Amino acid sequence: MLVVMDKKATPQQVDAVVAAIEARGYAARPIPGGQRVAIGVLRNDGPVDASLFSGLEGVRDIIPVTRPYKLVSREFKPDDTVVRVGSASVGNGRLTFIAGPCAIESEDQALTIAEAVAERGAHLFRGGAFKPRTSPYSFQGLGEEGLKILARVRQETGLPVVTEVMDCETFDLVEHYSDVIQIGTRNMQNFSLLRRAGRCSKPVLLKRGMAATIDEWLMAAEYVMEGGNTDVILCERGVRTFAHHSRNTLDLSAVPVVRKESHLPIIVDPSHAAGRRDQVIPLSRASVAVGAHGLMVEVHHAPDQALSDGAQSLYPDQFRKLHDQAQSIFDIFHPEESGSFSPRKGQAHEAATLSH
């Protein structure tokens, strides 16, 4: 439930409503708006009796929230959330590109790829230091050394860095070195990790579980927001189906549904959805066409030698092509924003061809 305060409500009246909500055993979350404050009522299991609060001074309206997720929903916050990360941002009416290898393998490898993607239009660099691998015998990532390399990449290229956190034990370390904390598909419902992410000072990129419904995914985001971290970026990365022509099946319909249900920005990772390089550019174009705020893709200068996910990693020049094509599709829907966020401003239109 949302208690909407009058435009002229005083801070004392807001405090009194908060106290009344808490006295009933609920949590109150004031949400300042442009015109007026709204106070979200949380931690209620069932419907809340509106008459408890409708008569309090300064209260203008009571709006029931029908969704199981509250802080994440558009009912709570109608305006789009923009997540700012250093010089970049996600969800601000511009298309954000996150690119880099699956895993950080060495300083040379990371810097080579980072420079290549920075020059070709990436706004953030990605790379795993702690890797959740299906087999315990596969490369598990460089751990802290990988995080130090990521910090070096940021220093050299100016790109903010995104990296995955796998557990609560290493959370402080990952939080210290990274600009955006990724929670992977296998951890989407790791509730202690989500709660720790809620207390985190950095934005969280929350991937959809490979078998999660959209409601479950948004409830996972609710855990993070409920902990006090409002900077959540959702990432669709494909779900598991019977199909064998791709590693997962990219659920593009999730994008318009999430945009309708939630104010949080949503990006798409076509690399893990496809598992194959040849599908990544077409799926990227489609993702932008259905309304993604950004794309996260794996890029490697020598994919044949990559220690993980080489088969789905693009060559740097393919990333350039992806960037330019995706940007021109984005510009069709957002002509007023055209190219304004691209480091290669103005070139996107010229370079883009929509052929394969």
Helix (H, G, I), strand (E, B) or coil at 155: helix
Q: Which does 179 bind (CB under 5 to 8 A by kind): ligand PEP, Mn ion, none?
A: none
User: In 68-158, where do the E strands start and end?
Assistant: 83-85, 88-90, 96-100, 124-126
- Are 221 and 183 spatial neighbours (Cβ–Cβ below 8 Å)? no
Rounded to the nearest whole angstrom, what is the least distance from the CB of residue 45 to Mn ion in the complex? 39
Q: How far apart are CA 312 and CA 302, in angstroms?
A: 12
Rounded to the nearest whole angstrom, what is the least distance from the CB of residue 128 to ligand PEP in the complex? 5
Shorter beta-carbon distance to ligand PEP: residue 102 or 255: 102
Q: How far apart are CA 321 and CA 327, in angstroms?
A: 10
User: Residue with CB nearest ligand PEP?
Assistant: 184
Rounded to the nearest whole angstrom, what is the least distance from the CB of residue 31 to ligand PEP in the complex? 31
Strand ordering across the sheet containing 27-32: 27-32, 37-42, 2-5, 59-63
What's the one-letter identity of residue 266?
I
Q: How far apart are CA 112 and CA 74, in angstroms?
A: 41
Rounded to the nearest whole angstrom, what is the least distance from the CB of residue 183 to ligand PEP in the complex? 8
User: Residue with CB nearest Mn ion?
Assistant: 102
Rounded to the nearest whole angstrom, what is the least distance from the CB of residue 204 to ligand PEP in the complex? 13
- Sites of contact with ligand PEP (CB under 6 A): 102, 128, 132, 164, 184-185, 207, 237, 269, 272
Q: Which does 185 bind (CB under 5 to 8 A by kind): Mn ion, ligand PEP, none?
A: ligand PEP
DSSP letters of 171-224?
HHHHHHH-SEEEE-GGGTT-HHHHHHHHT-SS-EEEEPPTT--HHHHHHHHHHH
Q: Which does 184 bind (CB under 5 to 8 A by kind): ligand PEP, Mn ion, none?
A: ligand PEP
Q: Which does 236 bind (CB under 5 to 8 A by kind): ligand PEP, Mn ion, none?
A: none
Shorter beta-carbon distance to ligand PEP: residue 40 or 141: 141
- Sites of contact with Mn ion (CB under 5 A): 102, 309
